[in-house]
Structure 1
Amino acid sequence: MRLVTAHLVISNPQSPIPNLQSPISNYQLPITNHQSPITTSPTAMPTPSLKLLERLCNAIAVSGDEGEVRKIVLEQVKPHADDVRVDALGNVLVRKRASKRNPLKVLLAAHMDEVGFMIVADEGDGFYRFDKVGGVDVAYAAGKSVLIGKKRIPAVIGMKPVHLSDEGPDRKVTLDSLRLDTGGKGGAQVGERVGFSTKFRRAGNSLFAKALDDRLGVAVLIELLKRAPTKVELLLAFTVQEEVGLRGATVAAHALAPDIAIAVDSTPARDLPAHDGREHSLYNSKLDHGPAIYIADADTLPDRRLVEHFAAAGEAEGIPYQFRQPGGGGTDAGAMHQQREGIPSLSISVPGRYHHTPTSLARLSDWHNTIRLLHAGLSRMTRSLVQSK
């Protein structure tokens, strides 16, 4: 998910109005279609590959250097697709034909890139200055292990220790106060990307990893391709440079010219303990409540027909879902819906905590249910869905 500062404000987010026929400006929807978290349903699908998700999360692919993830994606999609190509920016574009003529063309996009850093100066003795790539939160960076460039040079993000600081332990962490320290080895080059070296871990229903934004979505697309609905022509875009401006999605949507576009991403869950008394009342999504269907974000007002369609699919199949409340952040849908003559678009995301830091947290059940909701919605799509506004 791309970090942006613009946001929509709803007047009373605590007043649920579950009326999907009302204008978008009046949407004040319940956080979920169930009173309590549900992780199972009558409709089962094959268990998705947790090993694949682990490989994707452990790979490093800071924006503009997505090759390691792209290699995994190509390996996974080629046996199941009718057409696979890599465009000039590095997007992986995939086509799976439908079983009938003149099908609805549906594009699903998930971004391969992650936030991180770029070396901007060599200061000698193994020290390097660096800048941010994407909306990474530097407050979490000091003391973290990282890997530099394609050689995967190990380093630590160093900061003057508290013992030597006049500001004390509550000092503010700024980018200028940090340096990459390779321990005197050196060997890194200006312009090389730097990624966190966090390794994927599972603890019961919880997943801990870097880059869950958006390796969760990348894995969702691969799993959907393996069991693709036959009524629609399925187009997949594994995009580059989402975290720095939705750049890959812009050219991918123009090239593929879909009838419908859906961004599959990971959205920040605001369900932490109530430090300020508001955390639980103003959340935009919660863990354990299924995929989040967007009703608005900083870049997009999702097509109401698609919002209603996927909500109805969730109800019909007993798949838990929630409505992501309006607020900051954006997805590839922000670029896709503006291509050609306009493309009806939607975002559906896996909720997670602590995105754009060295370690994020998500639920295995929410990831599974995102795959199930998308499959259910795609299986029910007909051309009449977007024939009239």
Structure 2
Amino acid sequence: MKLERLKDLCELPGISGFEEKVSSFIRSIVEPRVDSIWTDTVGNLIAVKKGTGKSSKKLMLLAHTDEVGLMVRKINEDGTLSFTSVGGVDPRVLMGKKVLVGKDFVPGVIGFEAIHTQDPTALLKTPSMGKLRIYLGYSKKEEAQKNHRIGDPVFFDTQYEEIGDYAIAKSFDDRTGCEVLIRILESLEGYRLDFDVYFAWVVQEEVGLRGSGVAAKQIKPDAALVFENTTAGDNPELPDYRWATSLGKGPVLTFAHSGLVLDKRILDTIVDTAKKNSIKFQYKSRIAGGTDAARLARVISGIPSGVISTPSRYIHSPTSVINVNDFLGVVKLASLLVKEGKVLSR
């Protein structure tokens, strides 16, 4: 397997508000490599690699630890669970999927009506999330209440797999970014930069960019690089004018997204570094979605940032797909940007 640690990260449960296992895993890896590390009041994991002190500037590197998922909103009389989404989840991708429920990760399945009994017109309709149920083997409400309560997290139960140059998992958004930060830190082994580098694995991006602003106010960086996982649109069922990015074409650079036009000087630096080092890249051609960069632009006096992403098909679903080489391209580009430090030049 090419990306064993990414496999471990992706298989960890960590919907928004329940990121502890992800953060603990990351901390166990990075703590020996940094000068200080802490978890703040909202759950962000922040670490710093000190520089020589020649420069007083601070660079912030950011990825979010949370994934999309579900949350129990009602325990029904028949022992099934009704749920709501945590983050943006299309109900069409849920039917028949395996899930893990609550702190004990009880296995269950999201039920649906078999095609044999459906009215033909039902096949043309989008299912309502409010009508879907999780079945866990209980027959009565009282049985379910012994193990579950309202607000329990529900995680997709998907195993990581690699198929040639491609990988499948539930939470590349944004465990690819989390792994990029770890690999940047590893690449700095033996390096002493002039400036301090802060690594922030932040929480609750999927439900409103909550963690990044809290982290930035503690760090007060001069610039930031956000590492994300973003929509690949090269699906055969979509016309190419709707493609945002494609698998196999390298790291994705964002020039604008919902709520923000990215800092042009940082974007130019990223592009120049990629070209100089023969790293192929692509731009995100549709201005859709958002990242923690939008929050950073609104805190303190506004933090200039760049966004570099690994493209992913079927994002925000139980099974998304990446090209491993795109991810490795992000790692290479990111490590060069940090070592050169030019994103801090303004």
Distance 1:384 1:347, change over 3 A: closer
Distance 1:321 1:78, change over 3 A: same
How far off its partner does 1:289 sit? 1.1
- Matched with 1:266 is 229
How far off its partner does 1:69 sit? 0.6
Distance 1:298 1:383, change over 3 A: closer
Q: Indicate the SS of the match to 2:124.
A: coil
- Matched with 2:100 is 147
Q: Report if aligned partners of 2:223, 2:343 keep a CA contact under 8 Å in 1.
A: no
- Matched with 2:263 is 303
- Matched with 1:99 is 52
Large movers: runs of 4+ above 4 Å = none
Q: Indicate the SS of the match to 1:169.
A: helix
Is 1:178–2:129 an aligned residue pair?
no
Alignment of 1:23-172 (within 5 A): 50-166=3-119, 167-172=121-126
Q: Distance in 1 between matches of 2:134 and 2:65?
A: 24
What residue ranges of structure 2 are gaps of 5+ in the alignment?
Answer: none
Q: Report if aligned partners of 1:314, 1:321 keep a CA contact under 8 Å in 2.
A: yes
How far off its partner does 1:168 sit? 4.3
Q: Distance in 2 between matches of 1:250 and 1:384?
A: 19
Is 1:322–2:282 an aligned residue pair?
yes
Is 1:230–2:192 an aligned residue pair?
yes
Q: Distance in 2 between matches of 1:82 and 1:122?
A: 47
Is 1:371–2:331 an aligned residue pair?
yes
Is 1:281–2:241 an aligned residue pair?
yes
What are the superposed Cα offsets for residues 131-152 of structure 1, whole Å, 9 maximum, x if unpaired? 1110011110010000001100
- Matched with 1:28 is none
Distance 1:112 1:49, change over 3 A: farther
Q: Distance in 1 between matches of 2:227 and 2:342?
A: 20
Q: How many residues end up aligned between the 2 structures?
A: 336
Sequence identity percentage: 33
- Matched with 1:255 is 218
Q: Distance in 1 between matches of 2:344 and 2:325?
A: 32
Distance 1:318 1:188, change over 3 A: same
Distance 1:383 1:173, change over 3 A: closer
What are the superposed Cα offsets for residues 202-222 of structure 1, whole Å, 9 maximum, x if unpaired? 011101000110000000001
How far off its partner does 1:382 sit? 4.3
How far off its partner does 1:67 sit? 1.1
Q: Indicate the SS of the match to 1:159.
A: coil
- Matched with 1:359 is 319
How far off its partner does 1:384 sit? 6.5
Distance 1:272 1:384, change over 3 A: closer
Q: Distance in 2 between matches of 1:283 and 1:197?
A: 28
Q: Indicate the SS of the match to 1:126.
A: coil
Q: Report if aligned partners of 2:337, 2:343 keep a CA contact under 8 Å in 1.
A: no
- CA RMSD, aligned part only? 1.7
Is 1:202–2:162 an aligned residue pair?
yes
Structure 1, 55-64 or 96-105: larger mean CA deviation: 96-105
Q: Report if aligned partners of 1:162, 1:168 keep a CA contact under 8 Å in 2.
A: no
Q: Distance in 1 between matches of 2:108 and 2:315?
A: 22
How far off its partner does 1:189 sit? 1.5
Q: Indicate the SS of the match to 1:99.
A: coil
Q: Report if aligned partners of 2:223, 2:344 keep a CA contact under 8 Å in 1.
A: no
How far off its partner does 1:369 sit? 0.6
Q: Distance in 2 between matches of 1:321 and 1:100?
A: 33
What residue ranges of structure 1 are gaps of 5+ in the alignment?
Answer: 1-47
Q: Report if aligned partners of 1:59, 1:68 keep a CA contact under 8 Å in 2.
A: yes
Q: Distance in 1 between matches of 2:16 and 2:35?
A: 28
Residue number among 162, 174, 197 corresponding to 1:214 in the alignment: 174
TM-score, normalised to structure 2, is 0.93
Q: Distance in 2 between matches of 1:212 and 1:57?
A: 6
Q: Report if aligned partners of 1:261, 1:337 keep a CA contact under 8 Å in 2.
A: no
Q: Distance in 2 between matches of 1:61 and 1:382?
A: 34
How far off its partner does 1:349 sit? 0.5
Q: Report if aligned partners of 1:214, 1:266 keep a CA contact under 8 Å in 2.
A: yes
How far off its partner does 1:316 sit? 1.0
Alignment of 1:186-197 (within 5 A): 186=144, 187-197=147-157
Q: Distance in 2 between matches of 1:368 and 1:178?
A: 38
Q: Aligned letter for 2:124?
A: D
Q: Aligned letter for 1:205?
A: D
Distance 1:384 1:153, change over 3 A: closer
How far off its partner does 1:129 sit? 0.8
Q: Aligned letter for 2:64?
A: H
Relative contact order: is structure 1 or structure 2 higher (C-alpha 8 Å, sep ≥ 6)?
A: 1
Q: Report if aligned partners of 2:15, 2:86 keep a CA contact under 8 Å in 1.
A: yes
Is 1:334–2:287 an aligned residue pair?
no
- Matched with 1:41 is none
Q: Report if aligned partners of 1:116, 1:196 keep a CA contact under 8 Å in 2.
A: yes
What are the superposed Cα offsets for residues 181-231 of structure 1, whole Å, 9 maximum, x if unpaired? 101163222101101000000011101000110000000001111112632
Q: Aligned letter for 2:318?
A: P
How far off its partner does 1:383 sit? 7.8
How far off its partner does 1:284 sit? 2.1
